Structure 1
């Protein structure tokens, strides 16, 4: 197997990223948009101005701390959700095959130039279409690789699967009857067996109801106007759903 020199490879990736980013900027003109927002739960990076919106899928490469002068790969960051750091495991495996310790150590002393090198390498290894670095927060630079453009309708369908919870912030939506709560054990019936963080089919949602609702449903023989009125379905977040399940069933 041909040996790859890390410094030469990193420089080539940076040069390629400069060309790639020029083409990406020419096509999408991100500077035109007034606002930006990225969400780990949805995996979407959104730019907007007034009613105009532009959406992409992304993953988080890692972060550079200006305060500590350290780089941390997102695969080593417990605060980063799995769905936006899964692709960085490809970079780690590439580093293991190539014996590049900078790609396999989770957190170490570094600088901003290297942070861009790592982002360039991540873009090359994962065939990204561009990169983005949001505005610094508390001297922390976050580096994102953009993987694909997402049509606004598709993006909205993804966003509609999430809700802003007062307790747990931004989580997937779930539906429970009006009687289920965080303090009372009143039974927990589900539309199908669930587990936290499980993948759902596009048409599926977490749905649960209490014992009383189950009695009414069985009496009616189905979910109809009467049983639905009794249940008084309400919207909650996924985390709230599984807290209620834990309370009633004692397991997840």
Structure 2
């Protein structure tokens, strides 16, 4: 398959997934979020006491100070089990000779970081993706099936 077409389809697919999550369990309206690498889980907390939890993978981090994306497949702060989806994106980049997917650190816009995440999500058949702030960084993650409960 043509790499550019795959990337565009991945972006559109993630847009549709995100809209569905927003309308069904209010993704994007969470009060707080937290990710725990030891358990490989991400949790979203909402004002009404609802908690949404799911497995996660970390695709990479975007440094808002210098406009660089550090891939999760070789990130010093990401535990090995949480790198699998990022590694799929690297393999895609190797197959299609796309340096933005194979260089450890990439200068890019935030929109490109979303593209990288969308490709990883599609390759992994993830249920969705999320970008959460952590200081001056943005953490890009994919996630699995959502479990909802009240706190």
**TM bracket, shorter-chain basis:** 0.7 to 0.9
Confirm or deny: 8 A CA contact 1:38 1:46 kept in the other structure. yes
* Matched ranges for 1:1-20 at <5 A: 4-6=2-4, 8-20=5-17
Q: SS at 2:146's partner residue?
A: strand
Deviation at 1:86, TM superposition (A): 2.4
Deviation at 1:31, TM superposition (A): 4.3
Confirm or deny: 8 A CA contact 1:76 1:107 kept in the other structure. no
Which of 1 and 2 has higher RCO (CA within 8 Å, sep 6+)?
Answer: 2
Q: SS at 1:134's partner residue?
A: strand
Structure exhibiting the larger radius of gyration computed from Cα positions: 1
Deviation per CA, 1:134-175: give whole Å up to 9, x if none. 1241x21111111222476xxxxxxxxxxxxxxxxxxxxxxx
Structure 2 residues without counterparts, runs of 5 or longer: none
Query: Which residue number corresponds to residue 104 of structure 1?
Result: 102
Deviation per CA, 1:75-116: give whole Å up to 9, x if none. 111111112112221221222222222211111211111111
Aligned pair count reads 148
> Of 22, 27, 31, which residue of structure 2 is paired with 1:30?
27
Confirm or deny: 8 A CA contact 1:58 1:148 kept in the other structure. no
The alpha-carbon distance between structure 1 residues 83 and 27, as it changes in their structure 2 partners (threshold 3 A), is same
TM-score, length basis structure 2: 0.86
Deviation at 1:32, TM superposition (A): 4.8
Provide the rounded CA distance (Å) in 2 between the counterparts of 1:59 and 1:96: 20
Provide the rounded CA distance (Å) in 2 between the counterparts of 1:33 and 1:95: 33
Query: Which residue number corresponds to residue 149 of structure 1?
Result: 146
Query: Which residue number corresponds to residue 156 of structure 1?
Result: none
Provide the rounded CA distance (Å) in 2 between the counterparts of 1:64 and 1:143: 8
Provide the rounded CA distance (Å) in 2 between the counterparts of 1:23 and 1:151: 15
Confirm or deny: 8 A CA contact 1:57 1:150 kept in the other structure. no
Provide the rounded CA distance (Å) in 1 between the counterparts of 2:28 and 2:15: 16
